[in-house]
Structure 1
């Protein structure tokens, strides 16, 4: 048998298939007979009956247009009639069959008769409800993002002012402010990963204590998620407690321990205990700094509860209680706890970093950050290669002598991984300095330190120096 092959699709059938695939319904307005011809596809889209219906001068369908959009619809039709041209209008329609409000796009072309005046119009309609809903959601999200950004900026400004009022030197201000900013960034990173539905208490604790004094900190408690407001408050409180423990408390000695435990309360809230032991004998501070004020006055109010800090001789003990309003439902997306090698933004205790004689490539698309890195690494003695702000710029610099590199993970929407791969092939060490949260380690799976933005440039310099020492060993 000879297999028969299908012939070419007839033009009319091809047009019908194209309209169906595009989700379009065609119509015709016969002005000479004053009739609308509604196709089956248009009937399915609009809920109108198929076939011929009286046009009444084009106004027969006006009653199905949402009253708030009727003027726009009529204006588009009238302008098209007057000019004998095309029209394209979007409006809300009240479906003729069930009354539902849907968004419709109608496009048409006026066809002139023998006298040059429009005698008929033909075109199509399309249901664009899904697109309009997506646009509305995008607008809502942008407004929410704008609101959150302004709140964050206001909080950062308040932190800067309050920190500055209680510090006596620029170095002290930068250290304290940088640490608090890092605590806020950690909480926001966790909230972003969970689509701002909530942050887990154990992740907040791990973000603050995970890379601090390994072996000297333990924490446990039930799975518990906090609202964005409560998560930021708890993150800042944990940072203040950790900073004090490192400077004056249990973590200032190798024998010291910090235990953090939390539990649910019957009222729907929770209670967290911070207990230090094995450190130096503790006495109440002689001067109250902003950290103490934050714990005493801000944390409890933000958690809808209270905070009590006791300076016991055996070690500091803090109890943070929160009301039910601070607890959030378990989000659909729960991020994993960070496991990357993170360089914390705390001041180094080993003195100034010396990078004299080393050539360091800077790849960073934010000009201000690149300038800050260039200044900080130059002050440490490094010879700067770059900075490179774009991927192509960075790739073009790779043929120069380079000893180490600092890489932003994202360059104006493009991955820096091609640069990292080229450096790794040449066995040149590098540090990722990024604002992106990576729960699975460094970007691209590289065995490289990850410094989270916002960072302290002195820590970037220290991380680069450590890589160079390891390379030389």
Structure 2
């Protein structure tokens, strides 16, 4: 035998090591002798006794297969050993040594004699319990995600309908609806950072009040986490209160102040009080808006408690009593408190924005949002380049004359960084319009304005106009 021919053979010891490293056990089924050989590795994986055992016509493993899988196991065994060639099977097996149920993948090859009669099966087994559990976990997560997405869409739909019923103009509807949508997005951002285990009240307060009127808002209370449902409800309530305070209440003047305090109750719930002071004299409103309905009918119920609103001359006072069901355990992952709800450099435009003649590149993978951006920028007078929905599309447009750009941070799972770097080298200014909740500034560390989704398109137009003015 030549050296090359010898090298073609697999060293049995190396094969043993390879099978062990791969977590595989091997077996042989001699159909002529009706014997089943269980290797040491297969015995360790399945709990079956090591060595040669009677095959009982191929049914040696049947007594160890989970009853719910036995019929399919028998049917597959007969079908696949009769057809010949390689085959695979997966089934649940009850280990005889400790009674545990495991998922086993079995793969084998049927050997035949000169007449084509099957005479032996050689194969391997593998414990795939962890893989099956991971797959089941993924399926549960997908189902939970589907449930949450549908709940969010239903909530947004209800929010739009309720806002529309109580708004007399399109501009008023857009302003109110966008603000409420941002409040929901803020709560969801905090919940996502904590893997949907809960959101802290002080984080919700910081997100809603932190950027409104520096020095005129304060909040304090013990560390307390809310369930996702309660967090969304409280975030919306704080948004409504803050909006009213800015328009009509304590935050409409430089001398006013809003204080938010909360405390635990002995029954596991908590009390929360919103107090306005130093603002204009308050009177009972003549009509009930959506905010009042939300606070008095929705918030308390969603937090398993009740809400009372008092329009005292010195300032609005709101008391919320929440039940224990609204409180969540402290999550394993607790995000840092946000500095403000919106990390943005521009607000919605209070008037028409003039972008006449400006060539603006749009890079956005959400088609509907890209179309909305195109419409908004075009109405402001811009000449839109794109929109580009993919990274390659955007890169191909960079040889055009571009005055400014609007960039989504993520394009179908790919970073927009190459586009941003190319624009930066050409000194073309750009704004990020993104759904990512980064609080440390622009994605990728670029010196650029950031507008968080969901946004008002007028914010984007105003940001682009500001960029062009600064050139």
Alignment TM-score, normalising by the size of structure 2: 0.94
Deviates more, 1:206-215 or 1:189-198: 206-215
Give, in whole Å, the separation in 2 of the partners of 1:265 and 1:194: 24
Distance in 2 (alpha carbons) for counterparts of 1:384 and 1:332: 46
| Contact map agreement 2:166 2:290 (CA 8 A) in 1 | yes
Question: Are 1:336 and 1:439, in contact at CA under 8 Å, matched by a contact in 2?
Answer: no
Aligned pairs for 1:13-412 within 5 A: 13-339=13-339, 342-343=343-344, 347-349=348-350, 351-412=351-412
2:111–2:119 CA contact under 8 A, matched in 1: yes
Distance 1:458 1:176 in 2: 14
1:3 alignment counterpart:
none
Q: Distance in 1 between matches of 2:315 and 2:400?
A: 54
8 A contact 1:77–1:87 mirrored in 2: no
Confirm or deny: 8 A CA contact 1:262 1:273 kept in the other structure: yes
Q: Retained in 1: the 8 A contact 2:343–2:439?
A: no
CA shift, 1:268, in A, is: 1.8
Classify 1:237/1:458 alpha carbon distance in 2 versus 1 (closer, same or farther; 3 Å). same
* CA distance in 1: counterparts of 2:200 and 2:387, whole angstroms: 38
State the match for 1:4 in structure 2. Answer: none
Q: Give the conservation status (yes or no) of the 8 Å contact 1:27–1:39.
A: yes
Distance 2:220 2:397 in 1: 48
State the secondary structure of the residue aligned to 2:114.
coil
Partners of 2:198 and 2:330 within 8 A in 1: yes
Partner residue in 2 for 1:429: 429
Distance in 1 (alpha carbons) for counterparts of 2:101 and 2:432: 51
SS of corresponding position for 2:150: helix
CA distance in 2, matches of 1:345, 1:223: 32
Check whether the contact 1:305–1:323 (CA below 8 A) recurs between aligned residues.
yes
C-alpha separation in 1, matches of 2:217 and 2:346: 18
Q: Aligned residues, how many?
A: 464
CA RMSD of aligned residues (A): 1.9
Mean alpha-carbon deviation: is it higher for 428-437 or for 41-50? 428-437
Deviations 1:412-453 (A, max 9, x none): 000111222222233332221111221333211223222221
| 1:378-400 CA-partner distances (Å, limit 9, x unpaired) | 11222212111111111222222
State which drifts further: 422-431 or 51-60.
422-431
d(CA) in 1 for partners of 2:359, 2:256: 40
Deviation at residue 347 of structure 1 after TM alignment: 4.5
- Give the CA deviation at 1:10: 5.4
SS at match of 2:268: coil
Distance, in Å, in 2 between the alignment partners of 1:213 and 1:427 is: 34
1:25-71, Cα deviation, whole Å (9 max, x unpaired): 11000011100011111111111111100001001110000011111
Q: Secondary structure at the match of 2:104?
A: strand
Question: What SS does structure 1 have at the residue aligned with 2:439?
Answer: coil
User: Per-residue displacement from partner, 1:304-341 (whole Å, max 9, x unpaired)?
Assistant: 12112121222222222211111111100011123587
Measured against aligned partners, the alpha-carbon deviations of 1:50-104 in whole angstroms (never above 9, x if no partner) come to: 1100001001110000011111211121012322333210000011211110000
Using a 3 Å threshold, how does the CA distance of structure 1 residues 67 and 415 change in structure 2: closer, same or farther?
A: same
Point out where structure 1 has 5 or more consecutive residues left out of the alignment.
1-6
Q: Is the 8 A contact 1:355 1:381 kept in 2?
A: yes
Task: Report if aligned partners of 1:335, 1:439 keep a CA contact under 8 Å in 2.
Answer: no
In the alignment, the residues of structure 2 paired with residue 175 and residue 117 of structure 1 have an alpha-carbon distance, to the nearest angstrom, of 79
Contact 1:338 1:441 in 2 (8 A): no
